[in-house]
Chain A
């Protein structure tokens, strides 16, 4: 049972990672998000 639970957890984690990756690809590759079009900058203020 423990192994089965581990497998389910692993599957869920991989599935989540896959969805996250696909969402990022869609955002960058298929839409006009700035992440796909230009660099971004950081200017820290106090």
Chain B
């Protein structure tokens, strides 16, 4: 009887497992893996995103699949062909820049246009987004923390309303945890119970504001930023890629920063469909002296990058499908220099209209997100696949 039950359960597991498929996305010329390729069931507003090794876990659905990437031509895979797929080859978009007359671009005007028409260009109704959220923390180049979890992000609109009380326009709820490992920093080589829950992180309340593109655009149009130097890098049938940079600007506290990055505009709508920004810092330093140890800790911010990409839904509105922020710091503790790198990524896998969600399982954004994770992982798979290096850290 036990054997029959075991066989039946195994068969059920096989059936469940067979509903998803690992797919690799490659460049048809270079044969190299393509990261951040969006495998998108446009009719269902859901999909998956490839990792740095070009690999993605895809749920098999009865719908045509679009392969989207900003540098590659869109590929449509018919629903009856999806189960046969293992590898998807994409061809690079043709750069038309040499064939067109390039005129100067007024980047500030284009950014202001996006802000002024935000609700026409981007999803302007309340949605709930089923996302994968990944956090990595590297200390002196070694992984100290990695977690990958399912998060539900409810948002009143794609547009940040510039309200301090984020609860009125955004809610983050924690769902299944796919992978989670946290090695305490243990700076003083003294093991104590509270070490594990007392490690570094990006401050959650500062993070959530940057999920919103208009917030990031606004930060480039601040009066203190000054001139933005821009040039058109590439142009194809559908999009135009502009690179930009600013001068170093010093603030009242004596710290300086400058910005550079790339923005891709959709030619038809003038919407931003990809936005990257890297802020470099000089003298953005904070100093703290340990109350127990008396040791000095100096945090020296080096740079903070942001990446956004968007997909167009079947109503013609653009919506975020990928966000990453990575921050690099020099951390001098007790006269010993260390490098620190925090990275947070948000992959939007499914989006649907939802006027409101209840508050069950809300993440407390007054604390780092890893502190909300349960100690046990619930699920061991995710639409977003870990790279070999990340798997090695989890398994060792």
Contacts and interface: CB of A to CB of B under 8 A. Distances in A.
Contacts of A34: 284
Interface in B314-350: 325, 327, 329, 331, 333, 340, 342
Interface in A1-36: 20-21, 24-25, 28-32, 34-36
A30 to B, nearest CB: 7
Interface stretch (B64-72, B95-103, B150-158, B200-208): B200-208
Interface in B87-107: none
Contacts of B360: none
Contact of B200 (A25, A28, A42): A42
Interface stretch (B47-55, B288-296, B374-382, B383-391): B288-296
B292 A39 contact: no
Interface string B107-139: 000000000000000000000000000000000
Given A29-B218, A32-B249, A36-B219, A41 B342 contact: yes
Contacts of B331: 43
Interface on chain B toward A: helix, strand, loop, or mixed SS?
mixed
Contacts of B284: 34
Contact of A39 (B188, B210, B257, B297): B210
A40 B325 CA distance: 11
Contacts of B342: 41
B44 to A, nearest CB: 32
A39 B327 contact: yes
Contacts of B218: 29, 36
A37 B279 CA distance: 8
B80 interface: no
A16 to B, nearest CB: 13
B291 A46 contact: yes
A43 B203 CA distance: 10
Interface string B186-212: 011000000000111111001101100
A46 to B, nearest CB: 4
B304 interface: yes
B222 A36 contact: yes
A20 B165 CA distance: 11
Contacts of B290: 45-46
Interface residues of B, number: 49
Contacts of A45: 187, 288-290, 293, 295, 297, 333
Given A35-B206, A37-B222, A43 B299 contact: yes
A20 B42 CA distance: 42
A39 B329 CA distance: 12
A24 B342 CA distance: 26
Contacts of B185: 43
A27 to B, nearest CB: 10
A43 B185 CA distance: 10
B96 to A, nearest CB: 34
Contact of A32 (B203, B225, B293): B225
B206 A30 contact: no
B162 interface: yes
Most chain B Cβ neighbours within 10 Å, of A20, A24, A31, A43: A43
B254 interface: no
Nearest to B293: A46
B222 A30 contact: yes
A41 B299 contact: yes
B251 A32 contact: yes
Most chain A Cβ neighbours within 10 Å, of B203, B207, B289, B329: B203
Interface of A: 20-21, 24-25, 28-32, 34-46
List the 7 shortest-distance A-B pairs measured between CB atoms, nearest first.
Answer: A32-B224, A43-B200, A38-B304, A24-B164, A45-B290, A45-B297, A46-B292
17 contacts: A21-B165, A24-B164, A31-B223, A32-B222, A32-B251, A34-B284, A35-B206, A36-B215, A39-B210, A39-B327, A41-B203, A41-B329, A43-B200, A43-B331, A44-B198, A45-B187, A45-B297
